[in-house]
Structure 1
Amino acid sequence: LQNRKQCVKIGEYVSQNLDVYSGVPQGSVLAPLLFLIYINDIHSCVSSSIQLRLFADDCVVYIAVKKSDDQILLNNSLESIHAWCVTWGMKLNADKTKSITFTNKKHPLSFTYTLGDTQVKKYDQVKYLGLILTSNLRWEPYIKSICSKAVGKLHYLRRKLRNTPAHIKLSAYKTLIRPTLEYADIVWSPHQKSLINKLERIQKLAVRFVYSKYSRETSATSLIVQSNLQSLSQRRIISRLKFLFQLLHGHFKIANSQYLHPPFKHSSRTNHSKTLRQPVSRVNIHKYSLFPDAITYWNKLPEDAVKCTSVELFLNYIEKID
């Protein structure tokens, strides 16, 4: 885009025009596409061993650091990205640029990364695509955050839907509150009883709101059964199994061979025909993460379930399994 100018108008006053040398008109239909085309070659700035992920105008660069040379390689890639931005008239937001190291080591390798003349600030906790990621890969801060948001939404519904029929309030819970508790749940699904209960408590509060039954004499569990609601923990298991089914059937542009492998030995008596190799886990953080945990449940499914030919049939089958 060339020969563009912009000005600011406040009431009847209009500023002088200024030339616009880069960028695209905000709010236009083509703006997102033009932006993506413009930054499409940014991947060429980084080494082949560096991972770069783009989402809209967010960019994440990372590497598995095993030695100090890996840190230098990552920093060189950051400098290359900075140089690319200078060349093409892009400006990185230094205040929003953060560095985090994911590790369980007591004394991890330390390094100060730079972008031009600016040092990248180090954090123990960052927010990415709505998730709160911590350096020790614990999900307590994120779960605490979504529970707080869900309670706030529930209080709002209690004020606005006080005299509304139960089925309307139940629908409001399913569409406005439960999604808050389930966003990206295949990633962060907890195994600790305290966190599981913290999430289930929100659903118990919700069904009391649905039926206006706030007395302790009324069981929240019975209200959940009455509402035909599954527990949130059960829904998270189903979400992980659904993801695994879709991955195995090529629904994503992900090479499943990178994460899923057949077992070394196959026992036809105890395992179904699509049994997967269980990854070896030394710590609970890995054991209860997406793939190891999903594979554990997958390998316990009956033969008829794993032979389903569509996601709908698969979900209908596993939702009937206790």
Structure 2
Amino acid sequence: MPREVFIGHTLTTKHRIRLMLKLFRIVCGQSSLDNNITPKATRLLFNSLVRSKLEYNAIVWNPHEANYSLIIEKVQKAILRFLYKKEYGYYPYLYPTPFLLGMLGYNSLELRRNFSLIRFVLQLLRGNTSCPLLLEQLGLYVPNNYVRGRYHHLMVVPPAHTIRFRMAPIPRAIRFLNEIVAAVPECDIFHLGERRLSDIILTYLSGNLRSSLLS
């Protein structure tokens, strides 16, 4: 099985998408030819052969353009409908994707990529991951309301003069964390336990998916 990561100077995902489509056809073809393959085995094939490749090194190549994100999401949408048919005996032609995600116990790939990105930055802040070059890009407003009662977000968003830099991994993660802390006041990113903090992040991301993915 190929393990290469195809990332060019433009950080495009075209080669990766082609590879995922090939792997998807292998999984669906194998499951269709062998009726003895159970839904659990089909899940295992998808998670190990397809989704693991879709998410490998996603912190770097995670696309911010809606069209690329949707192309990647279509791979999982197709396997969800195929898997639903394996488990319930009929094909869900008109069922929306959020229904399939809930029934089969999956999250969207965009949510999983953003969750991984946020967790990575939190690991930097907590000292669990060592990368001084990235850590120096993380600034904090301490204490809050320190100038004439003016409200500031917890983290400093670096100024961006281009869309490419604005949507780079670190600035995106900082904006996510600022939004989460503002929306959930009890969310203390420095003192909450890992499980509780992960639950808060997942709940926030689940409620703020792109409307284009809810179809």
1:144 counterpart residue number: 17
Which amino acid in the other structure matches residue 66 of structure 2? K
| 1:131-180 deviation digits (Å, cap 9, x = unpaired) | 32323x23233442443344244334424654434344234323332111
1:317 counterpart residue number: 200
Structure 2 unmatched ranges of 5 or more = 208-215
1:235 counterpart residue number: 112
Indicate how the Cα distance of structure 1 residues 164 and 240 shifts in structure 2: closer, same or farther if over 3 A, else same.
same
- Match runs of 1:61-210 below 5 Å: 130-135=4-9, 137-159=10-32, 162-210=35-83
Larger RCO, structure (CA 8 Å, separation 6 or more): 2
Q: Secondary structure at the match of 1:297?
A: helix
Q: Once the two structures are aligned, what percentage of the paired residues are identical?
A: 20
Indicate how the Cα distance of structure 1 residues 161 and 171 shifts in structure 2: closer, same or farther if over 3 A, else same.
farther
**Greater strand fraction, Structure 1 or Structure 2:** 1
**Greater helix fraction, Structure 1 or Structure 2:** 2
How far the C-alpha of 1:224 sits from its partner, in A, is 1.9
Which amino acid in the other structure matches residue 246 of structure 1? Q
Q: How many residues align?
A: 191
How far the C-alpha of 1:295 sits from its partner, in A, is 0.6
Q: Secondary structure at the match of 2:159?
A: coil
Alignment RMSD (CA, Å): 2.8
Give the greater-gyration-radius structure (CA): 1
How far the C-alpha of 1:266 sits from its partner, in A, is 4.1
| Alpha-carbon distance in 1 for matches of 2:48, 2:141 | 40
How far the C-alpha of 1:215 sits from its partner, in A, is 5.5
| Alpha-carbon distance in 1 for matches of 2:35, 2:176 | 41
Counterpart of 1:289 (choices 168, 174, 179) is: 168
Quick check: 1:250 aligned with 2:127? yes
How far the C-alpha of 1:265 sits from its partner, in A, is 8.6
